[in-house]
Every structure is written in structure tokens, then in C-alpha cells.
């Protein structure tokens, strides 16, 4: 299955550095890589007139800057009973599984934004907004809303502080998912200055631990919902105010 092959390719990438993810997306025509270290991001402008920004972060909790065990050890991935895990430690599905999903959605004409440093305080997205005003303006003025693929579990969405009541109702109706609360944050909280954003569940559990695992069918379910959603010819625009 193509989807499983792509997912496994991203999950096999080393945990200690995000370089492999950026190298992969840099192959896409039109990809622009900005910055260095954790203050970097890659942006690909979508070709659709009516488009959204798809967001994921390339770093993991096991990034070299955290000096966690197993950060650079080769993984030993196991796919059994529909569950993927690393028998040698952390999996990094948060957020390599989101990057893999965006890779599979890249032909749909929507814009792509891959950030670094989310786990260390949204360093890449903050650098984008503070030091790259032209791109910050572009992603908020030329798109309908943002979708981040970086949420644990199977049927959740979270808008945090960057969703209106109207947008939350729209996301719930489109996906069938529910929002447990508005707490915490991720990159869209920094990126969405003028438009709404949502973070969707992509099937991983027990992130930030060596018991992290991913339920493939749950990941695939969100991928299929996104494919159907993003294929709509007219997507409404949701300003934050």
C-alpha cells in the first residue's frame, strides 16, 4: 500500500535531526527553505486559487537538542495488528506522521508549510512570523484557513485560540471529530494571525515516551477525510475576527 510505504519512510527517518524531512520536501518543485537550525521552515505555495495551508513540524521530542536516549540509534520499526512502534524507543510519529500525510496530499494544489522547533517552543513558526513578514502576510492573506496535522488520538480536533465558533462548527461537521477543550498550543497558534486554524488527530498515542505508537487505520482515516475535504472546489474563508 502506497500510504503505508510513505508513512514508514517518514517514521524511519532519524529522530536526532529534522534534516531528512527537509531534504525530502526540498525535492518538490517550488519548495523554498528558509533559516537554519530550529529557526527554519519550508514553504511551498499551492497552485489552487481557493486553497488552505497544510502545516506539520519536522522535529520530534527526541531532537538532538533534548539529549534524549535513542536519538540517533537506528530504529527497529514493527507493524503488528495495525499498530506501528519502534522496538528500540521513541517513534517520532509526533510529527513525522503529519509530515507523511502532507507528502501524500501535496498534489492537491494546497500550500505546504513544514516547520522546525515546534517541540522546543515553536521556534520555527515564531521566526517565520517575526523575521519573514512577507511570507507571514502571504499565508494569512492568500488562504482560507490552516490545517495542522499534529494531534494525538483518533477523532479530535483543536483550534486553541485561533478558531471562531463558526469555524469550529464547520470543522466538526466536515470531519465528524470533536474538540475536547481549547487548552495548550502548537504552531498554528503562532501562525494564524488573521485566519482560523485547526489541528487534527493523526492516530499516534503516548507521544514523548518510549511507548509511543501509531494506529495505522486511525492515521489513514484522517488522511482520507482530508483528501475528501481538500478536494472541494470552493472552501470558505474563515477570518479570525
For 216-235, write each residue's pLDDT tens digit. 999 999 999 999 999 999 99
Please give the pLDDT value at position 16.
84
Given pLDDT bands bounded at 50, 70 and 90, which one contains residue 77? very high
C-alpha separations of 71 from 100, 210, 214 in Å: 20, 11, 18
Domain ranges across the chain: 2-230
Is the per-residue pLDDT at 154 higher than 80? yes
- For domain 2-230, the question of CATH label 3.40.630.10 is answered with yes
Q: Sheet containing 204-205: which strands, arranged edge to edge?
A: 77-80, 83-86, 213-215, 204-205
Please give the pLDDT value at position 1.
72
Q: Which three cell numbers stand for residue 142?
A: 492568500
Please give the pLDDT value at position 103.
98
- For the segment 161-203, what is each residue's pLDDT rounded down to a tens digit? 999 999 999 999 999 999 999 999 999 999 999 999 999 999 9
Amino acid at each position: 500500500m502506497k500510504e503505508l510505504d510513505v508513512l514508514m519512510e517518514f517514521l524511519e527517518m532519524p529522530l536526532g535531526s529534522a534534516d531528512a524531512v527537509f531534504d525530502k520536501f526540498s525535492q518538490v518543485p517550488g519548495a523554498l527553505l528558509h533559516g537554519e537550525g530550529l529557526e527554519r521552515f519550508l514553504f511551498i505555495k499551492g497552485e489552487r486559487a481557493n486553497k488552505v495551508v497544510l502545516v506539520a513540524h519536522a522535529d520530534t521530542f527526541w531532537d538532538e537538542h533534548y539529549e534524549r536516549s535513542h536519538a540517533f540509534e537506528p530504529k527497529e520499526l514493527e507493524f503488528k495488528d495495525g499498530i506501528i512502534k519502534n522496538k528500540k524507543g521513541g517513534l517520532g510519529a509526533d510529527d513525522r506522521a503529519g509530515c507523511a500525510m502532507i507528502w501524500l496530499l501535496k498534489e492537491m494544489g494546497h500550500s505546504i508549510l513544514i516547520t522546525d522547533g515546534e517541540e522546543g517552543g515553536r521556534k520555527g513558526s515564531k521566526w517565520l512570523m517575526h523575521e519573514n513578514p512577507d511570507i507571514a502576510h502571504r499565508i494569512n492573506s492568500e488562504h482560507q484557513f490552516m490545517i495542522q496535522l499534529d494531534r494525538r488520538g483518533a477523532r479530535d480536533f483543536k483550534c486553541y485560540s485561533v478558531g471562531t465558533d463558526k469555524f469550529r462548527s464547520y470543522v466538526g461537521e466536515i470531519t465528524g471529530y470533536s474538540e475536547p477543550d481549547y487548552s495548550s498550543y502548537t504552531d498554528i497558534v503562532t501562525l494564524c494571525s488573521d485566519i482560523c486554524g485547526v489541528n487534527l488527530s493523526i492516530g499516534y498515542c503516548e507521544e514523548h515516551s518510549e511507548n509511543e505508537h501509531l494506529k495505522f487505520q486511525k492515521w489513514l482515516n484522517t488522511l482520507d477525510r482530508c483528501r475528501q475535504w481538500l478536494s472541494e472546489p470552493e472552501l470558505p474563508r474563515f477570518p479570525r475576527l
